[in-house]
Amino acid sequence: MAATDIAEEAFNLRLGYLKPETVEIARVELRETEEVKAEAILKLRELLKATPELNYKDDDAFLTVFLRACHFYPEGALEKMKTTASFRKEYASLVRGLLVEQVKDKFVKGSVINVLKNCDQKGRRVLIVNCGKLWDPSDITSDEMFRMLYMVHLAAQLEEETQVRGVVCIMDFEGLSMKQVKALSPSFSKRLLTFIQEAMPLRMKEVHFVKQPFIFNMVWSLFKPFVKQKLNNRMHFHGSDMKSLQKFLDPSVLPANYKGTLPAIDYGGVEWFPALEQQAQYVAEWSQLGPAQW
């Protein structure tokens, strides 16, 4: 991986461009051409105008976020907007009015939610959720963890490279104990999986569970009922077998934490927060979007 790529990807959002090879991926995987895109934007704008129960921005860039997540089918994008609005209404206490500064203390303090500073070999962002010993639920509640996750997904939407290539998630359960298991309640599990499957206009390409101890079975029994087939096909369980993980994520893009060739992770919320802070305005706009009536 070129040094310029890593410098560009680390603690920085890549805004306002698609690489030539990404344009080709968009064409092949998402049906995206200038003509298809222009037509889909016009159609989705019309559909949105005719759906008074929804309140979203309708500029080209905003509509494209939903269209790319739905292969440029305007009806599918409208449906995603509806399910996102329903989710936001149901969990208004967590996401309505959510602002960057509200998560700053917890985000900067810990490394519960982290993002690799480099993309993977397919140019995808890699989100790390530390659900084991690095997470103290008495300090960061599961609600606070969710709000941080939600914030990161809003920032990720702004990267067109991510809109096209999608994201990968590593759920790291190293050192999982009963205090984390209790915090990963049925209601949290349902909310998280509803969000990922119905209310996140991003392409979740892979979810990797790593370093999960035997006690993880209790967590999985809560998650499993809410996992639909499409997501289930993208979930992979590796335990402590990093060779298994490396069938999906090349060792050259992984830190030593996962037996990769890059240095061990020595960064987290402190390094990433300024990139989030720069998008405070976008997050503030989103904080009131979704349902026309809350």
Q: Is the pLDDT of residue 216 over 70?
A: yes
Q: Is the pLDDT of residue 7 over 80?
A: no
Q: State the pLDDT at residue 271.
A: 96
CA atoms lying within 13 Å on the CB side of residue 88: 27
Alpha carbon distance 200, 197 (integer Å): 7
Rg of the chain taking only CA atoms, in angstroms: 19
CB atoms within 10 A of CB 43: 18
Alpha carbon distance 292, 290 (integer Å): 7
Q: State the pLDDT at residue 110.
A: 76
Alpha carbon distance 237, 232 (integer Å): 11
Alpha carbon distance 169, 196 (integer Å): 11
Please, are residues 256 and 91 in contact by the beta-carbon 8 Å criterion?
no
From 287, 275, 231, 263, select the one nearest 125 (Cα to Cα): 275
Q: What is the DSSP letter of 224?
A: G
The residue to which tokens 């087939």 are assigned:
229
The residue to which tokens 């037996």 are assigned:
259
What the block records as the tokens of 148 is 């941080």
Q: How many helices (H) and strands (E) does the chain have?
A: 16, 7
| pLDDT tens digits along 146-171 | 999 999 999 999 999 999 999 999 99
Alpha carbon distance 212, 173 (integer Å): 5
Q: Is the pLDDT of residue 39 over 70?
A: yes
| pLDDT tens digits along 89-124 | 999 999 999 999 999 999 998 789 999 999 999 999
Q: Which domains does the chain have, with CATH numbers?
A: 102-282 (3.40.525.10)
- The single-letter code of the amino acid at 151 is M
pTM recorded for the entire structure: 0.95
Q: State the pLDDT at residue 6.
A: 64
From 211, 204, 205, select the one nearest 237 (Cα to Cα): 211
